[in-house]
């Protein structure tokens, strides 16, 4: 059985990035959405990324951002994959000739088979909770049983994940990866190393139980 990967999102400090990597994080998320309390500036992201060791995916996160800003950012920051968390079309997402994940907020009636077909160029679908007016980082989970078990695209599960619901999340839909932000924080944008470690340990424990 494949190991469940983990992305720690909303990284704003180098010490949090290093602690997440030391705990076993596979990916770090940098929020380039200025309305988020976890937003980073280009300069912040550059300095954090420059201090990272190899073999960790750097994810740049956008919400209906201007293409020119993204292109400029890609010339300044070494990102590995883009995460589009707004209403971006498949054509827009694909236009940066970079791997990307499309985040889908799981509002009622979301047809993931249709979405998987629509975003067929995505490397993964990131499924997040839907809360009106809140594009992401809700801290709330959704009904994971709404996720079909026959999607032919990797699923990254997000939304309200915490150490005490990781096992249920993995057993309910066996996602390719888990994405967490609020559940491992002591304050918005400030990660708690102990919570990060406990979260990633809980994933390893859950994977072992699923073997
Ligand atoms: O994290 C944010 O503040 C945020 C703001 C606007 C759009 C997306 C945002 N985060 C995207 C993520 O991938 C989060 O990790 C995901 O929404 C889960 O957040 P949480 O429920 O706090 O674990």
ipTM of the prediction: 0.98
DSSP symbol at 39:
B
Q: Is the pLDDT of residue 60 over 80?
A: yes
Q: Going by C-beta distance under 8 Å and a sequence separation of 6 or more, which residues neighbour residue 95?
A: 67
For ligand 1, atom 2, which residue shows the shortest CA distance?
137
Strand partners, 131: 134
- 4-48 pLDDT, tens digit per residue, is 999 999 999 999 999 999 999 999 999 999 999 999 999 999 999
Domain, as residue range, for 175: 5-209
CA 9 to ligand 1 centroid distance, Å: 7
CATH number at residue 86: 3.20.20.70
Cβ 184 vs Cβ 192: under 8 Å: yes
Question: What residue's CA is closest to ligand 1, atom 5?
Answer: 136
Q: What are phi and psi of 196, to 5 degrees?
A: -60, -45
> Separation of 181 CA from ligand 1 center, angstroms?
6
Report the alpha-carbon distance of residue 23 to residue 49 in Å, rounded: 17
Q: Whose CA is nearest to atom 13 of ligand 1?
A: 9
* Extended beta strands in 33-187, E state: 57-62, 81-84, 100-105, 124-128, 155-158, 177-180, 185-187
Cβ–ligand 1 distance for 36 under 6 Å, the answer yes
Per-residue pLDDT of 190-204, as tens digits, reads 999 999 999 999 999
**Is the shortest distance between the CB of 189 and ligand 1 below 6 Å?**
no
1 pLDDT above the threshold of 70: no
Q: Which one of the listed residues 16, 26, 77, 128 is annotated catalytic? A: 128
Query: Does residue 175 have its Cβ closer than 6 Å to ligand 1?
Result: no
* pLDDT given for residue 116 in this prediction: 98
Q: Summarize the confidence of residues 163-182 as an average pLDDT.
A: 98
pLDDT value of residue 2? 80
Cβ(60) to ligand 1 under 6 A?
A: no
* 137 CB within 6 A, ligand 1: yes
Q: What is the pLDDT of residues 73-121, one digit of tens each?
A: 999 999 999 999 999 999 999 999 999 999 999 999 999 999 999 999 9
Atom of ligand 1 nearest to the CA of 159: 21
**Claim: this prediction has a pTM higher than 0.95:** yes
Q: How far is the CA of 140 from the centre of ligand 1 (A)?
A: 10
Q: Is the CB of 181 under 6 A from ligand 1?
A: yes
Quick: pLDDT tens for 117-167. 999 999 999 999 999 999 999 999 999 999 999 999 999 999 999 999 999
For the chain, the domain total comes to 1
Residue 89's alpha-carbon distances to 11, 82, 104, 210, in angstroms, are 26, 14, 12, 36
């Amino acid at each position: 059985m494949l190991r469940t990967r983990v992305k720690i999102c909303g990284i704003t400090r180098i010490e949090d990035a290093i602690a997440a990597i030391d705990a076993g994080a596979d990916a770090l998320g940098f929020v380039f959405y200025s309305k988020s309390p976890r937003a980073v500036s280009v300069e912040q992201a550059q300095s954090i990324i420059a201090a990272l060791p190899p073999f960790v995916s750097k994810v740049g996160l956008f919400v209906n951002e201007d293409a020119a800003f993204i292109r400029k950012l890609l010339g300044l920051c070494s990102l590995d994959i883009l995460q589009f968390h707004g209403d971006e079309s498949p054509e827009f997402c694909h236009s940066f000739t970079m791997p990307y994940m499309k985040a889908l907020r799981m509002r009622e009636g979301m047809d993931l088979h249709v979405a998987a077909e629509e975003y067929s160029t995505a490397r993964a679908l990131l499924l997040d909770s839907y809360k009106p007016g809140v594009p992401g980082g809700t801290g709330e989970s959704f009904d994971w049983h709404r996720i079909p078990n026959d999607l032919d695209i990797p699923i990254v599960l997000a939304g309200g994940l915490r150490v005490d619901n990781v096992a249920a999340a993995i057993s309910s839909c066996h996602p390719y990866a888990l994405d967490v932000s609020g559940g491992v924080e002591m304050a918005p944008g400030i990660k708690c190393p102990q919570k990060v470690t406990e979260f990633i340990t809980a994933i390893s424990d859950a994977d072992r139980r699923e073997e």
